[in-house]
Structures are given as structure tokens and as C-alpha cells.
Homo-oligomer: A and B are copies of this chain.
Amino acid sequence: MDKRQAILDAAFEVFARCGYGQACVKEVAEVAGVAKPTVYNHLHDKETLFRHAVTAAAEGIAERTISALDALRDPAGDLRETLGQVTRELAASCCDERAQALRRLTYGETAQFPDVLESVHARTALDLREVLADRLARLVVAGRLRPCEPGEAAGHLLALITGPLDARSRMGTRAVPPAEVERVAESAADVWWRAYGAPAGPAARWGS
């Protein structure tokens, strides 16, 4: 029963539902099951309330999303199969309600909170991209992927997943049926694999 955490959770929920401008602190307090002065006791401002709530939520979301990449660490069997699995997991976490709300909030409140956009983006996008790039680099070195710039390849895979999904879900406004999420993920993996997968045949032998 950490009140502070309850407040931060409630704040994220309310901000996500109403946007920063329309959200009112009283409602945050009610959702948190706490009195209004208690909110101000922990977080001095509405602004700091927003900042802390959003960055805390971003931390959790980033952690879970990045953990989807674990399967690419030392992939034993068919690489294409592992890629498909990872892609499906990334697609699923991209459709997560909190993740979508987080994107809406940070994008929308850019005018007032450019720094929040910056730090959230660093944690949820750049870090994700870097970790994925690390995995891809190992696979390139091992000759299991075509030679490429790993960061670029990582960006492309993520774009192929999130782009079509954001388009279909209208930034989280519409629910995308799980079957379609899978289809989108599969076709993203397909396209990426055609561009970056090692051609069939024994081993690495693509010269200069």
C-alpha cells in the first residue's frame, strides 16, 4: 500500500484517459483512493505529477518490451522461426493499451513537455533499437544474416511492426483483433527476412 505508487498509477490512468489538459488532480486523487492534499504532498505540482507518472510507466513498458528480444540471444534452431516469434511478441507489446496510451500522451504533450518526450523516447525507442541492433550484429558476425548496418536493420524491423499496427489501431483508438496482429507481425518478419535474411545455402559467401 505504497500511496505514492498508487498515485502515480492513478495519474497515468487519468492522464491517459483525458490528456494532460483535461485531467484534473481531484480525479487522480479519487482513482488513487487518496485525498487531494496527499497528492500534492508527494508530487508538488500537476506538472511533476505528470512527469513522474509518465516516466515511471515508460520504464515498466520499456522493460517488458525489451525483454521480448531475449529469444534472439543465442537462437538455437531455425533463425527465421525465432525471428517470427520475436516479431509476434513485439507486435503484441506494441498493441498493449498502456504502451499506446504512453505514446499518445508523450506525442500530444510535446508542446509542454518536450523533455518528457525525449526521455521516454530514449528509454522506449532508442534503447529497444540498440538492444535489437546488438543481437542482429552478433547474427551478422555469425553469418546467419546478410551483412548490414545493425542499427539500420533494427530500425527497419521495428518500423515494419509498429507502422502497420499503428495505422490499423488508429493510435490505440481501435482494438486490433489478435489474429490480425499476428498476420501483420508475420508479414513484417517476411519482408524483413527477404531483405536481411541469409540466402539459402551452406554458409556465408557473399563477397564485396
Contacts and interface: CB of A to CB of B under 8 A. Distances in A.
A109 interface: yes
Interface of A: 17-22, 103-112, 114, 117-118, 121, 125-126, 129, 152, 155-156, 158-160, 162-164, 167, 170-173, 187-188, 190-192, 194-196
A163 B109 CA distance: 20
Given A159-B163, A187-B152, A191-B195, A108 B117 contact: no
Given A163-B158, A164-B156, A187-B152, A173 B118 contact: yes
A157 B192 CA distance: 12
Nearest to A168: B155
A107 to B, nearest CB: 4
A173 B126 CA distance: 15
A17 B163 contact: no
Q: Top 4 nearest A-B pairs by Cβ distance?
A: A108-B108, A21-B21, A159-B163, A194-B195
A173 B19 contact: no
Contacts of A114: 173
**How many copies make up the complex?**
2
A126 B18 CA distance: 26
A126 to B, nearest CB: 8
Contacts of A108: 19, 104-105, 107-110
A169 B31 CA distance: 35
Nearest to A106: B171
A162 B164 CA distance: 11
Given A152-B187, A158-B163, A163-B159, A117 B173 contact: yes
Contact of A170 (B21, B112, B118): B118
B19 A112 contact: yes
A170 B115 CA distance: 11
A188 to B, nearest CB: 8
A104 B110 contact: yes
